[in-house]
Chains A and B, each alone.
Chain A
Amino acid sequence: MTETGLEFRALYREHAPTVRRLLARLLPASEVDDGVQEVFLRIYRHRQKFRGEALLTTWIYQITVHCAHDLYRRQRWRRWLQLGASYTEERPHTEDAKGQEEAERVHKAMQQLSFQDRTILALFYWEEFRLEEISKSLDIPLGTAKSRLSLARKRLKVYLKEDSP
């Protein structure tokens, strides 16, 4: 294998678990495998553009979020063609009935949000990013990240309330 090949393999080994985890937060499970391939394809194609001004992880996060957005749009188009078939075929599973109900409620509320809202909430609550990291990963100013998070949180609460028993 060439030097580029070896370097790329090392990069894949180091960052693939993070990319997979982030994609799993943003996309249905059925889309994750394709997403990981697509992200590394883009990293490989654009590797010359990385100039080390940002952290490599931040750059990879940016690519992952863009890629997830593209896959989401493609999926949404496909869903539209299937006349309203469910975006996510997989449902959350928990042991007890109450937990199951709660999981369904969270899942449904998250699905009702826009991709932008879901992304910022996923990064903040599931990936436990700080606001500075979110602003860099989404390539937006810190103030915008703060206001987007606040609005997304409000909208999520509305959807959760709408569906509460």
Chain B
Amino acid sequence: MRHEDEDNLRALLQRHKPAVPPTPSDEWAKIQDRTLGKNPQKKWLAWTLLASLALALLLCVPQRKARESDEWNELWQDDISLSANPHAYDDWLQLTDSLDSQEL
């Protein structure tokens, strides 16, 4: 590239350098808030949300576990009643056979 071209390009770009926008007055406050966490209101809000979430989890998990446990017990009882009556399946087969023959 010739020196003249280079000088012209430099001069052209220098003439049209983008302007720098003014610094907002609260810039440091915002940076401080995001880095050093100096906003007690936001901190308080974050802790409250976290505590509520933890409480909700603490309350919900045992209830769900209890419900699941009840369902399991019911299933278990059914299983016991079936195993206590080994002829139950044969009875049920006989019943369906008789119903089928009635339909025919």
Pair A106/B16 contact, Cβ less than 8 Å: yes
Q: Given the complex, which residues of A lie within 8 Å of B15, measured CB to CB? A: 99, 102-103, 106
Tell whether A40 pairs with B19 under 8 Å between CB atoms, given A33-B24, A125-B14. no
Instruction: Determine if A145 is an interface residue (Cβ-Cβ < 8 Å).
Output: no
Instruction: Determine if B28 is an interface residue (Cβ-Cβ < 8 Å).
Output: yes
Pair A29/B1 contact, Cβ less than 8 Å: no
Q: Given the complex, which residues of A lie within 8 Å of B32, measured CB to CB? A: 5, 9
Instruction: Determine if A85 is an interface residue (Cβ-Cβ < 8 Å).
Output: no
Interface string of A4-25 (1 = CB under 8 A from B): 1100110010001100110011
Instruction: Determine if B23 is an interface residue (Cβ-Cβ < 8 Å).
Output: yes
Tell me the residues in window 55-73 of chain B with beta carbons closer than 8 Å to chain A beta carbons.
Answer: none
B36: contacting residue among A8, A16, A33, CB under 8 A: A8
Distance between Cα atoms of A9 and B5 in the complex (Å): 44
Pair B9/A20 contact, Cβ less than 8 Å: no
- The size bracket of the interface on A is 35 or more
CB-based closest 10 A-B pairs: A44-B35, A106-B16, A24-B20, A125-B13, A29-B21, A40-B31, A103-B16, A21-B20, A126-B17, A5-B36
**What would 14 A/B residue contacts be, using CB atoms closer than 8 Å?**
A2-B36, A9-B32, A16-B23, A24-B18, A29-B21, A36-B23, A37-B27, A40-B31, A45-B35, A102-B12, A102-B15, A106-B13, A126-B13, A150-B1
Interface residues, chain B, CB within 8 Å of chain A?
1, 5, 9-10, 12-21, 23-24, 27-28, 30-32, 34-36
Interface residues, chain A, CB within 8 Å of chain B?
1-2, 4-5, 8-9, 12, 16-17, 20-21, 24-25, 29, 32-33, 36-37, 40-41, 44-45, 92, 99, 102-103, 106-107, 121, 125-126, 150, 153, 156-157, 160
